[in-house]
Amino acid sequence: MTDSIRFLMCAPNHYDVDYVINPWMEGNVHKSSRDRAVEQWEKLYHVLKDKAIVDLVAPQKGWPDMVFTANAGLVFGNIFVLSRFYHKERQGEEPYFKEWFEKQGYTVYELPKDLPFEGAGDALLDREGRWLWAGYGFRSELDSHPYLAKWLNIEVISLRLSDERFYHLDTCFCPLTGGYLLYYPPAFDSYSNKVIEMRVAPEKLIAIEESDAINFACNAVNIDKIVVMNKVSDRLKTRLAKVGFEVIETPLTEFLKAGGAAKCLTLRVTEPVQADRRENVMVESRTIRMEGHLLDSGLISRALDLIVENGGSFQVLNFNLGEQRQSTSSADVKVSAPSHEIMEEIISLLIDLGAVPPPQEICDANLEPVIQDGVGPDDFYVSTIYPTEVRVNCQWVKVENQRMDGAIAITETPEGIKAKCKILRDLKVGEKVVVDVVGIRTIRKAESREQRNSQEFSFMSGSVSSERRVELVVEQVAWELRQIRDRGGKVVVTAGPVVIHTGGSEHLTHLIREGYVQVLLGGNAIAVHDMEQSTMGTSLGVDMKRGVAVRGGHRHHLKLINSIRRYGSIAKAVEAGFITSGVMYECIKNKIPFSLAGSIRDDGPLPDTQMDLIKAQEEYAELLRGADMILMLSSMLHSIGVGNMTPAGVKMVCVDINPAVVTKLSDRGSIESIGVVTDVGLFLSLLVNQLDKLTSRYNVAQTV
Ligand code: ARG
């Protein structure tokens, strides 16, 4: 018997599954057998008593989960940090555990109210006592970790749990003697997995499979080289034996019904304390302020979801709710993140939602010089599509040339400080670039309840749109096109060759002729297929009228390319009367500027195709300037390229038969994007129809 090791247990006199607070309890309410539970518990008790001292705390009626003493709190030397249970169903256990530890002479620490922490269920010491692994995500709050670091004077490593079934750290993670670690990696987010792999040498990592994990193999009691658990597969048993561990299986199926097993039923009250420890915790906190129609527009829930989804946690410090429909609300939110890196990620996403620091914390942006042309500093702030301002010399400066995926370059000119979005390759030595995420804000148009609803209406990439929904979007887009044309605005079309294959050509030419299109962006292919169709009636060798392949048709497009090359350009081919109809013809005739960006797979290319991609990107960017609306027609690459260059506020309509493309474009998160999953030929024909309807209605109105 190892005298120095002691455990605390609590007999299952009042154990039952009385409520559901984890997925294991679901369907098991009052389904466990008390007799069998007692029998299983006693077996575990004797196994442990054989190897260590086992103390008992008296079970209490009405607190069925008190058997799970691991959740009483966290013991370290003479310190006991009392749990604050997340669920009220277990909060009543707290005073009993507190009393027991006080009586035993421990110094009891208590966390602030409303800061959940579930003890050794979520906090496991490295078996060498070097640091504390602490879980969060379901039952314990990240903000409890700095307290643990301070009180225990220890390094705390925060791990985020991400699978509900493994809601406590000890259900999927078990540090073993000698620095080994038994764990189930999919229960953690990827950042936490990285952290684990950085701390534990690969030969000491024992990752288990799901089948063992759901038998609670990680919920094991480790005493020296012995590991006690509910059930183990032969594979895992052999694996553990190889590194010197002996597994003792003892069935605990009655307790699995409540979501616990061996480790949960025990609390080790003698934990190794190493002398040369240091307090350290990676958790960072920051306060941000949000203002606007926070509730009506759903902005606050989006912000809070975003914090949690990205591995942080929050506390709403104040919420001033605007009382009238038109009045805005404001909220101060304390954001915590498990590391600096994640904090920066979360804050930059919150900035996109319009978050600002509270007034007392506003400071200048951090700038770093460019020391090599075309290369930014490591930590450069990545620009977004939202109108942005940066704080330089205590003043907010508006960023020009807003686009996503750039850096913000600051230059001092005689007229003052200038801030500009630049792509990396355009950065120049001597410029300064914004780094980190302080002193940056985005100006969001106040979103209201109405806008949120219309957003739900208009954005339909989530699922394949029904026909009626397509019609509704077409009506909306037709109306906008009409408005833009009539006020002399600018509509840019990016189109892929599918537009031609699906018979959209006649509709697109109609749109160009009627003045609805001011710029055309595409690649080599759309122009080739369009002119192949207008000269030979086929598109990639397929007869567009009959829908069948024409003998020798596969050569058509090369012949077409050859002819255009002979003329020297599309414009010259039109001039010479070789091209007499189609999309490219209309562009030339109507003086619609176009840019064809080349790619590796291009045949030819056409003389007009820009094969220097950097130049092509510049041409695109130039032609896009000042656009009011962009119609993206079945061209993933060109559309994504265009999306990156376009600031928020420009309406984007993305039409593609592939929902993934539509989703990708909408991921920009701009409320002005409309995604339509449908056949592009069909979409164009509906659009032309709708525009014609508007025109005839307009004409009627004029004559009356
Ligand atoms: N029913 C209990 C709960 O959901 C089970 C606790 C298991 N304990 C543990 N340390 N994992 O809280």
Q: 264: Cβ below 6 Å to ligand 1?
A: yes
Q: 16: Cβ below 6 Å to ligand 1?
A: no
- Secondary structure letter of residue 587 according to DSSP: H
Which of 8, 22, 184 is the pocket-test mutation for ligand 1 (most atoms within 8 Å of CB)?
22
Angle, CA 364 vertex, CA 318 and CA 398 arms, to 5°:
95
**Cα–ligand 1 centroid distance for 10 (angstroms):** 13
Cis check: omega of the bond before 186, within 30 degrees of 0: no
Q: 64: Cβ below 6 Å to ligand 1?
A: no
pLDDT at 469: 79
pLDDT tens digits for 29-76? Answer: 999 999 999 999 999 999 999 999 999 999 999 999 999 999 999 999
**Residue 63: what are its φ and ψ, rounded to 5°?**
-125, 75
- Least Cα distance to 104 among 14, 12, 8, 10 occurs for 8
Which of 19, 71, 255 is the pocket-test mutation for ligand 1 (most atoms within 8 Å of CB)?
71
CB atoms inside a 10 Å sphere around CB 94: 18
Cβ 16 vs Cβ 3: under 8 Å: no
Cβ 597 vs Cβ 610: under 8 Å: yes
Q: Determine how β-strand 267-268 pairs with β-strand 6-9.
A: antiparallel
Q: 523: Cβ below 6 Å to ligand 1?
A: no
Nearest ligand 1 atom, CA 219: 11
pLDDT at 673: 80
Cβ 599 vs Cβ 637: under 8 Å: yes
pLDDT at 121: 98
Q: 73: Cβ below 6 Å to ligand 1?
A: no
Segments of the chain with pLDDT less than 50: 1, 453-464
3-state secondary structure (DSSP) of residue 673: strand
**Cα–ligand 1 centroid distance for 21 (angstroms):** 9
Instruction: Lay out the sheet containing 366-369: strands in order across.
Output: 366-369, 432-435, 407-413, 416-422, 395-400, 388-392, 440-442
SS3 sequence of 391-424: EECCEEEEEECCCCCCEEEEEEECCEEEEEEECH
CA distance 118 to 141: 9
pLDDT at 463: 38
| List of E strands, 126-237 | 131-136, 155-160, 173-176, 180-183, 205-207, 221-223, 226-229
Nearest ligand 1 atom, CA 68: 8
Which of 15, 118, 218, 264 is the pocket-test mutation for ligand 1 (most atoms within 8 Å of CB)?
264
Q: 22: Cβ below 6 Å to ligand 1?
A: yes
Handedness of CA 562, 566, 570, 574 (dihedral sign): negative
Q: 161: Cβ below 6 Å to ligand 1?
A: no
Q: 386: Cβ below 6 Å to ligand 1?
A: no
Type of residue found at 525:
A
How far is residue 136 CA from its own chain's centroid?
A: 18
**Residue 7: what are its φ and ψ, rounded to 5°?**
-125, 155
Angle, CA 457 vertex, CA 452 and CA 458 arms, to 5°:
100
Q: 119: Cβ below 6 Å to ligand 1?
A: no
Ligand 1 atom 1 nearest Cα: 258
pLDDT at 676: 87
Type of residue found at 292:
G
Ligand 1 atom 7 nearest Cα: 260
Q: 406: Cβ below 6 Å to ligand 1?
A: no
| List of E strands, 603-650 | 609-610, 629-633
Hunting for tokens 């379901």 — which residue is that?
138
Cβ 494 vs Cβ 522: under 8 Å: yes
User: Catalytic residue numbers?
Assistant: 168, 264
pLDDT at 360: 87
Handedness of CA 237, 243, 247, 252 (dihedral sign): negative
Cβ 691 vs Cβ 482: under 8 Å: yes
Ligand 1 atom 9 nearest Cα: 264
How far is residue 185 CA from its own chain's centroid?
A: 20
CA distance 651 to 541: 35
Biggest CA–CA distance in the chain, Å, is 103
**Cα–ligand 1 centroid distance for 165 (angstroms):** 11
How far is residue 499 CA from its own chain's centroid?
A: 32
Hunting for tokens 């004559």 — which residue is that?
703
Nearest ligand 1 atom, CA 259: 5
CA distance 577 to 571: 10
Q: Token pair of 688, please? A: 């032309």
**Cα–ligand 1 centroid distance for 93 (angstroms):** 12
- Least Cα distance to 611 among 623, 595, 599 occurs for 599
Handedness of CA 672, 676, 679, 682 (dihedral sign): negative
Helix, strand and coil percent figures for the chain, each rounded to 5: 40, 25, 40
Q: 259: Cβ below 6 Å to ligand 1?
A: yes
Q: 65: Cβ below 6 Å to ligand 1?
A: yes
The helix (H) or strand (E) run that includes residue 7 is strand 6-9
Handedness of CA 508, 509, 515, 518 (dihedral sign): positive
pTM (predicted TM-score): 0.81
Nearest ligand 1 atom, CA 168: 11
Nearest ligand 1 atom, CA 260: 7
Ligand 1 atom 8 nearest Cα: 264
**Cα–ligand 1 centroid distance for 76 (angstroms):** 20
**Cα–ligand 1 centroid distance for 68 (angstroms):** 6
**Cα–ligand 1 centroid distance for 84 (angstroms):** 13
How far is residue 440 CA from its own chain's centroid?
A: 21
**Cα–ligand 1 centroid distance for 91 (angstroms):** 13
Angle, CA 628 vertex, CA 624 and CA 631 arms, to 5°:
75
Q: 675: Cβ below 6 Å to ligand 1?
A: no
pLDDT at 696: 76
Q: 70: Cβ below 6 Å to ligand 1?
A: yes
